[in-house]
Structure 1
């Protein structure tokens, strides 16, 4: 602490009520400093006159000391030191009164900033500091708040935000933020815009970005028994593939399952040869032979989820097959990461799941198959565990499992009083969630059978009414005929939803 006659720029005085004398009250401190903003109405400097009376007081927890020159503090300070040496005398009435009075004075000195008058300040001896202002360090008295500089031109850069440029290249913005959300057929046409667009659309980075960004169902692959596969586009101007019959594969195949732009096809010779292909770019790969024979009644599920962090596109193929002379279902899993098959140790012994049908659906790390006994077999790929889910009571060949509102659901057409209604079932117990009346007049022909095929979005459902493929818009209550099937056996065909993606397939 500097003396009052020191050469330092500021003088400070530390005052306390002296808790070291055995009082139960709290310590009160104030730091009084000499700065440029300290002033006195009489023009007297704080370091002179009255300041000499408060020259230096040092207080700590165990000792109170005073300079001999402070006459104002003499009597009271001697009493405090006496009380500090003898705790038994600290409880006397006179000392308690003095201690309370001093604490009240120190409180007023600390809280001087809230006083309306400068004349309320008292010195430690009880005398009034007339018309004298005392300045203290007020920084710690402010409430907690952020202190920063005034933003200038570089404010956006400092905060992590990029300031918009005056001249924005619309071409670059379109290439980066618009093209990844377009289907493969449209992108193939846009390659002719220029060399820059062609190099960008064919680059591996853009192909990976488009496979992750574009997830809309673009059409349905359908195939009659013994016939070549065909493709029905939901919008011929936007969606399409160059070779719907898949003639680029080395042998005739049957389309078994699909997931996010990839198709899984099986050879027609019964040898369980599987091909994974993308019909949009004609890329394909053949899987190695599995050790166990899957048989003709096996069901498949393709699991492919594009990841923004994983640049290489990995997929899994799950085959559920029954073992001859044993009432169990086994799971054989192929991984593109290891390029090998793995027979899971999990075996399903549920009687309701012994006879599976159709193609599997992959959703959130799970694959699902419908059974002939009114149940759903669910298999967790990570944990390699299975479960059994119920189906609605009236489920059958007219209903279909699909993804709606991000969850697994079951869509079932119901005919009541010559009016068709779509019933949507969901949750783990497959309870009725919603009824959608088909208000369009195209559904008034009750003699034609209505079959649900897939859910394109939460608002569009694809159905087969007789030989007409129909897209029904729920909010608009409007039906559009997508295609008129020429064959009378179209109701027996298998329909697989397909995404028009540019996803790249790594050949072995």
Structure 2
């Protein structure tokens, strides 16, 4: 339906039925139709309604070696007749900080959390070009240049307060000479635009840290999750801001393997690992229930392959997206036991870093949350 046709309909029908079903890119263009539409589409109520009601397009987000962000659409994973690979179109998002982007830290509801080369954090919507600079955390540990501090992040939405939160966990290198065993856990509230330090937490056992030092938090069920070095998962509930530890049952064989990644597997907590049997995916079918873990054997990868999972394709419950060390993307179909390479067209080139999670296009804005406060 064209904008001119929509203009002739009653505003109530346009607002309640038609516009919420349209993709964000179309709505961004429709802002220029009239002042009324611009006000409507930009309103916090419409943005939130659109986010909750619309089926959003899911994409991969990649960070190039030149510090630019790209979106990669791999919703169509069918190979072409003349080729066994999967073509996917990549587009540069065009949103920039004063410096080049350095790292993607999280994704939620169309918002990205990223760092630039100056280690400044930003919350942004690359579709609408909204960009919000996050202030420095005043509670981070003070350390000398030669001292080593690990910092892990998590980013997610707390529906109980309609707020987006950043969780930072800072801790000293457990193998360094530093005597401190404190873990600094801080929470940033976008609604309040402020950091808070949580009460002291002891995340050290047997002289090494519980929180793994190689990944940021995976967001499932409005909780952030980190793998531990004690074969456990640490979960942080964004609503009550409390930690919970979950153990792996011995029956799924975690103790024989090496963790590779933890990601959202179709809204469920998934852990990927290499074991004596090869590459495996374990999924917690019912959140928080230890007996609900199931295990799937991943075929088609050689022992020397260096890949890690990114996401399970939404709407295709038996296909998993992987990235390799050279920036390539692979789609694996569990039912067919078959892998297909993704041929990225117009993309960021080799050695790009794909964020471990899917990005959804939306109208969500940091300003909406702050206005609501």
Q: Return the TM-score normalized by structure 2.
A: 0.68
Aligned partner of residue 214 in structure 2, secondary structure:
strand
Find the partner of 1:259 among 97, 104, 108.
108
1:469 aligns with 2:329: yes
Change (3 A) 1:389 1:182: farther
The within-5 A match list for 1:70-219 is 176-177=16-17, 179-188=19-28, 191=30, 199=38, 202-204=41-43, 205-214=45-54, 216=56, 218-219=58-59
Q: Could you tell me how far 1:207 is from its partner in structure 2?
A: 2.0
Match status 1:220 vs 2:60: yes
Instruction: Provide the rounded CA distance (Å) in 1 between the counterparts of 2:121 and 2:128.
Output: 18
Kindly tell me: are residues 497 and 322 of structure 1, through their superposed partners in 2, closer, same or farther at Cα, counting changes over 3 Å? Answer: same
- SS of residue paired to 1:393: helix
Bigger strand fraction: 2
1:211–1:306 Cα contact (<8 Å) kept: no
- Deviations along 1:218-243, one digit per CA (max 9) or x if unpaired, are 1122236774333322249xx99975
Residues 444-487 of structure 1: CA deviation (Å, up to 9, x unaligned): 87764443211233444212367642344556877665444886
More RCO (CA 8 Å, sep 6+):
2
| CA contact 1:413–1:451 (8 Å) conserved in 2 | no
- For 1:500 and 1:469, the matched residues in 2 are separated by 20
Partner of 2:281: 423
1:303 to 150, 153, 156: 156
CA distance in 1 between partners of 2:197 and 2:61 (Å): 29
* Counterpart check, 1:292 vs 2:139: yes
In structure 2, do the counterparts of structure 1 residues 355 and 397 end up closer, same or farther at CA, with 3 Å as the change threshold?
closer
C-alpha distance in structure 2 between counterparts of 1:502 and 1:277, whole Å: 11
Whole-Å separation in 2 of the counterparts to 1:395 and 1:487: 33
- The equivalent of 1:95 in structure 2 is none
Question: Structure 1: how far apart are the matches of 2:37 and 2:274?
Answer: 45
Deviation at residue 317 of structure 1 after TM alignment: 0.9
- 1:338 counterpart = 2:177: no
Deviations 1:304-323 (A, max 9, x none): 2568xx8xx52111111115
Structure-1-length-normalised TM-score:
0.52
Contact 2:270/2:283 (<8 A) preserved: yes
1:275-299 Cα shifts (integer Å, max 9, x gaps)? 1111010101112222123686211
CA contact (8 A) 1:409 1:430 kept: no
Distance in 2 (CA, whole Å) between partners of 1:181 and 1:470 is: 31
The alignment status of 1:268 with 2:117, answered yes or no, reads yes
| 1:393-443 C-alpha deviation (Å, 9 max, x unpaired) | 355464432243x43222447796xxx8753332554864142665xxxx4
Structure 2's unaligned 5+ residue stretches are 1-8, 77-87, 144-148, 173-177, 249-253
Aligned mates of 1:476, 1:315 — CA distance in 2: 39
Query: For 2:304 and 2:25, how far apart are their aligned partners in 1?
Result: 38
**Distance of 1:171 and 1:459 partners within structure 2:** 42
Q: Structure 1 residues 384 and 495, CA, compared in 2 at 3 Å: closer, same or farther?
A: closer
Q: Give the equivalent residue in structure 2 for 1:366.
A: 223
Of residues 336, 360, 366, the one that matches 1:499 is 360
What CA RMSD, in Å, does the superposition of the two structures yield over aligned residues? 4.2
Which residue of the other structure, out of 103, 118, 127, is the alignment partner of 1:280? 127
Distance 1:185 1:240 in 2: 16
CA contact (8 A) 1:200 1:206 kept: no
Q: Name 2:4's counterpart in structure 1.
A: none
| Rg comparison, structure with higher value | 1
Matched-pair contact (CA < 8 Å) for 2:219–2:264: no
